[in-house]
Amino acid sequence: MLNESSPELRQRAKELRRKMTPAERLLWQRVRDRQLEGLKIRRQHPIGRFIADFYCHEARLVIEIDGGIHDSQAGRDAARTEYLEQRGFRVLRIRNEAITANIEQVLAEIVAVCRS
């Protein structure tokens, strides 16, 4: 299932890794290289026809970082979440502001969801 993404989607994921938002960059600094309780978390990871902002394979957890643009695309985000959940993934949506305001709480939430 994870390998069904197109070469174009994989290329787009590479571009997104180079152009992370400040909130994505902050979170990535804290979760990369198994820093978060040994969890392997990938960034900008293609899953089917979508690119997950972050993904923990061990917990089948997609972590979506939502900024202001997501306020105007709630229906699209809901469809994406439904698509992923129907395929057995859990989806955790985190606002940019939550990451910049309290990264420790965000990290604790990610660990709690991964361990549940």
Q: Which domain, by its residues, includes 55?
A: 7-115
pLDDT at residue 79 in the model: 87
Q: What is the value of pTM for the model shown?
A: 0.85
Cα–Cα distance measured from residue 79 to residue 16, given in angstroms and rounded to the nearest whole number: 21
Number of domains the chain is built from: 1
Which pair of structure tokens corresponds to residue 29? Answer: 């600094």
- Let me know if residue 1 belongs to a domain: no
- Let me know if residue 52 belongs to a domain: yes
59, 39 in Cβ contact below 8 A?
yes
- E strand or H helix that includes residue 61: strand 61-66
Per-residue pLDDT of the chain (116 residues; tens, 9 = 90+): 444 678 888 888 888 888 889 999 999 999 999 999 999 999 999 988 888 999 999 999 999 998 765 455 667 888 889 999 999 999 999 999 999 999 999 999 999 999 99
- Let me know if residue 2 belongs to a domain: no
- Let me know if residue 60 belongs to a domain: yes
Pairing relationship of beta strands 50-56 and 61-66 according to DSSP bridges: antiparallel
pLDDT at residue 71 in the model: 54
What CATH number should be reported for the domain holding residue 87? 3.40.960.10
- Let me know if residue 91 belongs to a domain: yes
